[in-house]
């Protein structure tokens, strides 16, 4: 159940627009305010009817009992400073950033007393961006991780939990630094590898660009899908989750060297055992309901657009 009467969305891309659609799907009388730095984005969001659009972030948050920062991680601190004087007493401020410790460090110092700050991260998205990319079912059966602070009021945490559940998400709570390590494993490093593999193909001059485009099998095709994600967002993710990303990258390098050695030595037993173990992890993701076993990973049936 959504307990909020007015929700302000600062940033109007994929996640914010999907929040708007999902709120409207509930049929509950929630007033939605919105702001984006770009005038073109504000115009498009207004045309789509995503929210009542304001010319400044401060105006957008006035009177809101929930404010969600949907901007790149690197912009969080500046936005928090801008909206701070306009926040209503008792309001909750949250975010959707893929990194939590850096967001806490950037946002918390600017918020006035009497305002609850409960960082959040919905683990949902596509490679598309912009106000026209959102859809109401984006969060259905996906996890939203909340990283409450020690001083967070239990009632405020419960209210935000109920909000995300009403939007279709499954909600869990996690300590911020552990969140950043988990996401380095499950999201950040896989994206970095995808960007790298696409870059390798671009620089491998023995394979032409047209051959790469024409003959992309499932593996490379999916790398390019991931690598199409918003570059500003991912730049900020890596700059703000350096320690965990480098930790996981170090482990990845060790694993890669071991596989390289097995291939060089013709060690089929090592390769088979490794692929068997990793295949079981993929099956676990399907069993957990976070993907399907359908061809194209279920995207032919469920992809938007």
Domain presence at residue 241: yes
Query: pTM for the complete prediction?
Result: 0.80
Q: Which residues pair with 53 in a beta bridge?
A: 34
The token duo for 5 is: 């009467």
The pLDDT score that the predictor gives to residue 301 is: 41
Domain presence at residue 208: yes
Query: In this structure, are 238 and 165 located in the same domain?
Result: no
| Beta carbons within 10 angstroms of residue 55's beta carbon | 10
For 239-274, give one letter per residue: b (16+ CB within 10 A) or e.
ebbeebbeebeeeeeeeeeeeeebeeeeeeeeeeee
Q: Which of 76, 99, 119, 79 is nearest to 239 (CA)?
A: 99
Domain presence at residue 299: no
The token duo for 51 is: 């929210």
Print the domain residue range for 252: 178-266
Domain boundary among 149, 174, 199: 174
Query: In this structure, are 210 and 161 located in the same domain?
Result: no
Query: In this structure, are 218 and 117 located in the same domain?
Result: no
Query: In this structure, are 12 and 155 located in the same domain?
Result: yes
- For the domain that residue 59 is a member of, what is the CATH number? 3.40.50.720
Query: In this structure, are 93 and 227 located in the same domain?
Result: no
Query: In this structure, are 182 and 168 located in the same domain?
Result: no
Query: In this structure, are 185 and 169 located in the same domain?
Result: no
DSSP-derived letter for residue 73 is: G
The pLDDT score that the predictor gives to residue 295 is: 52
Query: In this structure, are 152 and 222 located in the same domain?
Result: no
Domain boundary among 174, 196, 216: 174
Strands 6-10 and 31-35, bridge-based pairing: parallel
- For the domain that residue 204 is a member of, what is the CATH number? 1.10.3660.10
Domain presence at residue 296: no
DSSP H or E run through 69: strand 66-69
Domain presence at residue 48: yes
Sheet bearing 120-122, strands edge to edge? 120-122, 143-146, 170-173
Query: In this structure, are 162 and 183 located in the same domain?
Result: no
Residue ranges in the chain modelled with pLDDT below 70: 202-219, 282, 284-305
- Output the CA angle 60-64-70, nearest 5 degrees: 60
Query: In this structure, are 201 and 61 located in the same domain?
Result: no
Domain presence at residue 272: no
Query: In this structure, are 101 and 129 located in the same domain?
Result: yes
Number of domains in the chain: 2
The pLDDT score that the predictor gives to residue 289 is: 64
Domain presence at residue 277: no
Q: What is the pLDDT of residues 236-245, one digit of tens each?
A: 888 889 898 9
Domain presence at residue 303: no
In angstroms, rounded to a whole number, what is the distance separating the alpha carbons of residues 129 and 182? 24
Q: What is the pLDDT of residues 47-56, one digit of tens each?
A: 999 999 999 9
């Amino acid at each position: 159940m959504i307990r909020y009467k007015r929700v302000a969305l600062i940033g109007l891309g994929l996640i914010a627009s999907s929040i708007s659609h999902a709120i409207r799907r509930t049929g509950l009388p929630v007033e939605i305010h919105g702001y984006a730095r770009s005038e073109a984005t504000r115009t498009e969001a207004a045309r789509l009817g995503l929210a009542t659009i304001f010319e400044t972030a401060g105006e957008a948050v006035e009177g809101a009992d929930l404010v969600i920062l949907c901007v790149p991680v690197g912009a969080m601190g500046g936005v928090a400073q801008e909206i701070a004087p306009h926040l209503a007493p008792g309001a909750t401020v949250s975010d959707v950033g893929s990194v939590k410790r850096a967001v806490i460090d950037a946002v918390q110092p600017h918020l006035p007393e009497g305002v609850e700050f409960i960082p959040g991260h919905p683990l949902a998205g596509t490679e598309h961006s912009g106000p026209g990319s959102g859809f109401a079912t984006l969060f259905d059966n996906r996890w939203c991780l909340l990283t409450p602070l020690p001083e967070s009021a239990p009632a405020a945490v419960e209210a935000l939990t109920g909000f995300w559940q009403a939007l279709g998400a499954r909600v869990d709570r996690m300590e911020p630094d552990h969140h950043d390590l988990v996401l380095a494993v499950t999201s950040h490093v896989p994206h970095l590898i995808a960007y790298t593999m696409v870059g390798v193909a671009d620089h491998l001059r023995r394979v032409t660009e047209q051959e790469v485009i024409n003959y992309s099998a499932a593996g490379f095709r999916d790398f390019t899908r991931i690598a199409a994600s918003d570059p500003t967002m991912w730049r900020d993710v890596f700059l703000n989750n350096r320690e965990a990303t480098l930790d996981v990258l170090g482990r990845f390098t060790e694993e890669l060297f071991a596989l390289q050695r097995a291939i060089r030595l013709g060690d089929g037993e090592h390769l088979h055992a490794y692929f068997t173990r990793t295949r079981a992890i993929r099956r676990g993701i399907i069993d957990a309901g976070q993907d399907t076993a359908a061809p194209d990973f279920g995207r032919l049936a469920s992809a938007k657009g």
